[in-house]
Structure 1
Amino acid sequence: MSGSNTTDFTNPSTFILLGIPGLEAAHVWISIPFCTLFAIAILGNFTILFIVKTEPSLHGPMYYFLCMLAVTDLVLSTSILPKMLSIFWFNSREIDFNACFTQMYFIHCFTVMESGILVAMALDRYVAICDPLRHSTILTNPMIIKIGLTLVLRSGIFVLPYILLATWWPYCRTNIIPHTYCDHMAMVKLACGDIRISTYYGLFLVFSGIGLDVFFITMSYTQILRAIFSLPTKDARLKTFGTCSSHLCVILAFYVPALFSFITQWFSNNVPHRFQVLMANLYLLLPPMLNPIIYGVRTKQIRDRLLWLFPHKGT
């Protein structure tokens, strides 16, 4: 450990995660809200999976996509929280070289996958509202399986070169990462070589992956809103729009924190690093916590099943 932060090495066997630089004294206190987010995310997403599995009336396209979202959220939150809490509670900052890049791969892979699932859910809402008579024939179980496999392959293949490029750079400056997890931007800044190709591929990944997803979601909701406004009565319009409200809230819960995190990284010279790290954590932790709450509160079938599981006293 004595020479781990000097320049007399190339590709060290371990990296050192600092946590939140400048807030080391408050790590234990900061861990409380993060641990709470994690506990709610685990409990909420497992509850969603249990309810959908045990309730035959929920065995439909929207709820299958919701289960995919729950699994993705579970993987995302467990990819960063255990190591983060070990830093905050036990000052266990070392992470193996390969483990660091494995964590990075899972974070980016499942972030892209979650974005793709939101597109699939938008497709479900589009077919249900704009072509309801064909909904059951278009979104069949085999089609849902194909969509799920496509999302897994897309995210895995798209992200793999991004991570492989990072593993190929020589790391000879320092092995200290000023972050709570192996963030790609924080990692490549430690590399000694020309990292422009990683930067270019990162931009390609953002625009071809997340950017296209946002475009398809926007196009879907443009058609959905046209169909809703063509309905004859206000009650019918409100009722139909209500079927999309949960999905819209989940979209905002995912993309808004991510947007703030990306903005703080792009304007890193004007934003304190501790705030950048906090935002990078929140955009990965908030959606897994909020998604099951949003669907649990706003979806009648899930809400009714929850009330049945936890009946009031005296009923």
Structure 2
Amino acid sequence: MNVKKLLFTALTGCIIFSCDSDDKVTDTVQDNVETGAVLRTIEIRENSIPIGIENGETIITGTAQLSITLEEQDQEEGALLESVDVYTTFTDGSPDTGDTSMAVTEEVFLGNIPVDLFSDGPFGLPRLDFTIEATELISAVNLTPNALFGGDTFTTRFALNLSDGRTFSTNNAGGIITAGFFNSPFQYVTPVVCNLDTNSFVGDYLIEELTPYVDGPTFADGSIVEVTVGNTDTERVFFTPNYPDYCSTPNDFNLLFVCGEIIIPLQESNCACSSGADYFGPTDTPENYNADDDTEFLITFLNDVQSDCATPEITTYRFTKQ
């Protein structure tokens, strides 16, 4: 990643236009909403499909679903909301396990949610409690539980339709909308996972970058971070600056512990050359973990997936429990 030119340009702009420390990121975001619309993530209650194997059969265990609360905002404070279309896409992340030859792998339309199924939220904006069961997702792509294994994913995408004929979704929402203040990604990746003890792989860890730097360290190399449980039992989260040589604000980084492999889902960087959306992501050869030993583990991920600043690079970090 080469952000030197980007930062030089930003500093020059401050000199010319006298950057004010009172300027808020939210000002920029609100300007975006005046010409568009967002579907903000208020809460993620469940977002995984845990599985188990019994007598050679794959069974769905626990609460297997995507369950979230969304809030719509547009330039007329929700008055433009007409409906939301819902789609899903299946991705086979375990091609050597489970027979997915009959799977529908292109995007599948799940249905339309009209405005009257939304209710007024505490700020007067339309809110929706959305839940889709794992069985519905599996059936929609023509599969059965026996075809699934850890690493497979279902991506649920929302398209927000306004009464003036405009539609907003992943194809026309920049990083300032999909992450940060508005947290409106318009899509959610639901992984198939094996159960993991919520007391494992949590606590303080020393992080060390093992691969060559990409225009400096990707995270705060050599620092201590706190790893915590994320939105599901198999998700872990820690905070660290992205590219600390250039940006000091901590950003969340998410790990998925998927049936023996540590998968890095697509996620944003808050230090990039443009939007920073989908900046970090999975590699073809993820690291493994031992569920009975959390004293040390590695994560390997693709750095700059979209070639935002430079050619994508593979980055590896070691985590050592303190």
TM score, norm. by length of structure 2? 0.25
Q: Which has the larger Rg?
A: 1
Whichever structure has more helix as a proportion of its residues is 1
Whichever structure has more strand as a proportion of its residues is 2
